Amino acid sequence: MRTIREIHTGLKKKEFSCFELVKDFLQNAKEKDKRLNSFLHFSDELALQQATAADHLIANESEICWLTGVPFGIKDVIITKGVPTTAASKILEGFIPPYDSKVYENLLAVKGVLLGKNNCDEFAMGASTENSAYQPTKNPYDLSRVPGGSSGGSAAAVAASLVPFSLGTDTGGSIRQPASFCNVVGLKPTYGRVSRYGLIPMGNSLDQAGPITRTVEDAALVLNIIAGYDPKDATSVKKDLPDFSKALGKDIKDLKFGIPKEYLTEGIDPKIKAVFLAATKIIENLGGVLEEISLPRSEQAVPVYYLVMSSEVSTNLARYDSIRFGKSRVHFGAEAKRRIMLGTYSLSSGYYDAYYLKAAKVRRLIFEDFQKAFSQVDFIIGPTSPVLPFKFGEKINDPLQMYLCDIFTVPQNLAGVPAISIPGGFVDGLPVGLQISANHFQEEKLLSAAFAFEQATDFHKREPEGF
Amino acid sequence: MSELNIEQVKKIAKLANLELSEEQLGKFTTQLTKVIDYNVEQLAKANTDNIEPLLNVSGLTNSTRNDQTQPGLTQEQVLQNSDETHNGFFKVKQILDQS
């Protein structure tokens, strides 16, 4: 059972009970996760209780929601009442949240089933999940390679079919890049589309929770449940909530796909470039119109991101003072400390203008670059990652090298626009993601285009060997 | 060129409330210098004369609610994750002088 659709159909037809399904999923996930380490915690007892509640609902209702009775994972930076939440840090070892995040609350309301908490980089900081204070997660397509980050556990679990979906978070690419590395779908919604209430904050002007799934349809089904205005999140936006899955199936004839000329330069692996160009041919065959555009400030996106994000991180991680919760700050990992230091420095007196404020000004220019581009084209496309899934240890000692992995994904967080990574091909058996972005609150359009590409290809159907 | 020295890094660590070993201080001095230099060099390429900083991508301002109490966490829930509590309070280090 790989997808939400398959599980929902089986439950509705009473081919199996939710209890039986969840028991099987737990057994399968625990066995396979010995090789992957994608889960930090399995919530067995709770899952079976939730399954029983789902069975009760299914027996009594003629119509059930797509996600009723469906098991899922949640990245461990999203809080779940009564279920250990660590943000993959030693600081929160033993921490039990006293309340639910909005996204989890919404999934519970439709009787979804929490299988467990997925591993990630500590406090969501990293591009490989190697910064987890507990364990590195392995890429199911090649166990000697990283699954990407920071939502690496979520992406690996979904790719290996341990769960049909997991919720990740994306601040600079942390849903999309691991989705690309693991041959799955990862959607970062528009900033403000999904409530951040209960998301352990990293970069609060950048963070968004989103689905990691096997198919574009499943991403739409999950977005339906987690999106929406939340009065508890002052940055969530009041916007009509359509049924995102109804947008799928439209063709992309005559829609314009912009390729930023700044993207296909020397920094990108030529094999990835080749896969991307092949993907653009598929888009053309489907009737899409390719157009060269410019995002002039592309080169500044990573520096802007690292100054703005680390400044926000230094503030957001100040709460870990071991008074109300958590262990002392000496337990932060190296990357967390590094970013706190970078942010503190950027905000400090004498440097604030030249670093943080300058970065925030260039951020406005990047925002305007996107507005200008979307006045010319419907979508912006590119490879999700400039590098293939790399080997463990390859980048961990050079922070700058690791930061440059985010080059194609940080701009969308800076501008707040929605973006999705979908399976786009392979290089020597390693997954390559195709990234599509649209303008603010255009998730319907975005999912529709992603679906059209997906249905014309077989990449998403490939399974990692041995899972 | 920012060329941070170890004294500056010690000061930043104090502001950030982080205790760093000598080895960590040395490593961070090198790494921070490298990242900041790269960032500043890149940012200088963008002309930001008369540009307002962008702090909020959604354009929302002052999302407020009515000033009415609403249910929240219980005292027990709030205290449950702390190691140091006393009579329903969080215990902290002494900050006021006895005299």
CA A25 – CA A23 distance, rounded (Å):
5
Q: Is A150 a catalytic residue?
A: yes
- The answer, yes or no, to whether residue A285 has pLDDT greater than 80, is yes
- The answer, yes or no, to whether residue B98 has pLDDT greater than 80, is no
Which of A151-165, A435-449, B72-86 bottoms out in mean pLDDT, i.e. has the lowest? B72-86
**Tokens matching residue B60:** 């929302």
Nearest Cβ partner for A306 among B39, B48, B90: B39
Q: Quickly list H helices, A216-353.
A: 216-226, 270-285, 298-316, 334-347
pLDDT, mean of residues A309-325: 96
Radius of gyration of chain B (CA): 23
pLDDT, mean of residues A391-420: 89
Residue numbers in B near A399 (CB within 8 A): 31, 34-35
pLDDT confidence bin for A352, thresholds 50/70/90:
very high
HSE, side-chain direction, 13 A CA sphere, residue A204:
17
- The answer, yes or no, to whether residue B3 has pLDDT greater than 80, is no
B35 touching A (Cβ < 8 Å): yes
pLDDT confidence bin for A398, thresholds 50/70/90:
confident
> What is the 3-state composition of chain A as percent helix, strand, coil, each rounded to the nearest 5?
40, 15, 45
CA A439 – CA A190 distance, rounded (Å):
8
What percent of chain A has pLDDT above 70?
100
pLDDT, mean of residues A138-155: 98
> Across the interface, do B54 and A361 touch by the CB < 8 Å criterion?
yes
Whole-model pTM over 0.95: yes
Which residue of chain B has the CA closest to A234? B63
Q: Is A349 a catalytic residue?
A: no
HSE, side-chain direction, 13 A CA sphere, residue B4:
26
A237 touching B (Cβ < 8 Å): yes
Distance to chain A for B18, nearest Cα, Å: 6
**Tokens matching residue A239:** 């916007």
> Across the interface, do A360 and B54 touch by the CB < 8 Å criterion?
yes
CA A411 – CA A41 distance, rounded (Å):
33
Residue numbers in A near B3 (CB within 8 A): none
B95 touching A (Cβ < 8 Å): no
Complete DSSP assignment for A363-410 = HHHHHHHHHHHHHH-SEEEEES-SSPPPBTTSSTT-HHHHHGGGTTTH
Q: Is the peptide bond before A150 cis (omega within 30 degrees of 0)?
A: yes
pLDDT confidence bin for B59, thresholds 50/70/90:
confident
Radius of gyration of chain A (CA): 21
CA B24 – CA B30 distance, rounded (Å):
10
Residue tagged 């960590």 (tokens): B24
Chain A residues 362-381 with a CB less than 8 Å from chain B: 362-365, 367
Residue numbers in A near B82 (CB within 8 A): 323-325
Instruction: Give residue-wise pLDDT tens across range B62-81.
Output: 888 899 999 999 999 999 99
- The answer, yes or no, to whether residue B2 has pLDDT greater than 70, is no
What percent of chain A has pLDDT above 90?
94
Instruction: Give residue-wise pLDDT tens across range A201-211.
Output: 999 999 999 99
Cβ atoms within 10 Å of B54's Cβ, excluding its own: 22
The pLDDT score that the predictor gives to residue B62 is: 86
Whose CA is closest to A413, among B57, B10, B6? B57
- Across all residues in chain A, what is the average pLDDT? 96
Instruction: Give residue-wise pLDDT tens across range A18-38.
Output: 999 999 999 999 999 999 999
The pLDDT score that the predictor gives to residue A216 is: 98
Q: Of A75, A102, A111, A445, which is the active-site residue?
A: A75
Complete DSSP assignment for B31-93 = HHHHHHHHHHHHHTTS--TTPPP---TT--------S-------HHHHHTT-S-EETTEE---
ipTM: 0.93
A227 — alpha (psi -120 to 50), left (phi > 0) or beta? beta
